[in-house]
């Protein structure tokens, strides 16, 4: 099933490390689980009107987290797994993720 361009990018990932690599022309997005590199490249170019040089994909595995404590027993749960893409742009292009704050 083909994804629409607005369904490919779930959200931008804003962390300390991602802010630093943004200065180098690389931006990180959480993407749909069934999206591939070509669909991600086309979606970023269409939505942000930039030229993409490369797309790298990482599937993040679920992490174990302590959920609650019951009668001296710890109950564990898992975070959801997700797919993220690191998009490298051509020199001279940039994305304003924060917009006008």
Render pLDDT for 41-56 as a digit per residue (tens, 0 to 9): 999 999 999 999 999 9
User: Tens of pLDDT along 4-13?
Assistant: 878 899 999 9
Q: What token pair was written down for 65?
A: 């987290």
Q: Which domain holds residue 38?
A: 5-89
Task: Give residue 71's region: left, alpha or beta (phi > 0; psi -120 to 50).
Answer: left
For residue 15, give the CATH number of its domain: 3.30.70.330
Whether the full predicted model's pTM is greater than 0.75, yes or no, is yes
- Whether 95 is covered by a domain: the verdict is no
Specify the number of domains making up the chain.
Answer: 1
Residue 53: closest CA among 8, 81, 94: 94
Is residue 44 in a domain? yes
């Amino acid at each position: 099933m083909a994804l629409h361009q607005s369904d490919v990018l779930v959200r931008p990932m804003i962390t300390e490390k991602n802010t630093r690599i943004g200065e180098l022309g690389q931006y990180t997005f959480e993407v749909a689980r069934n999206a591939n590199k070509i669909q991600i490249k086309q979606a970023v170019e269409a939505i942000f009107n930039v030229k993409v040089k490369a797309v790298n994909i990482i599937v993040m595995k679920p992490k174990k987290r302590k959920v609650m404590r019951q009668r001296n027993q710890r109950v564990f749960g898992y975070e959801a797994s997700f797919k993220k893409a690191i998009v490298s742009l051509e020199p001279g292009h940039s994305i304003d993720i924060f917009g006008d704050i």
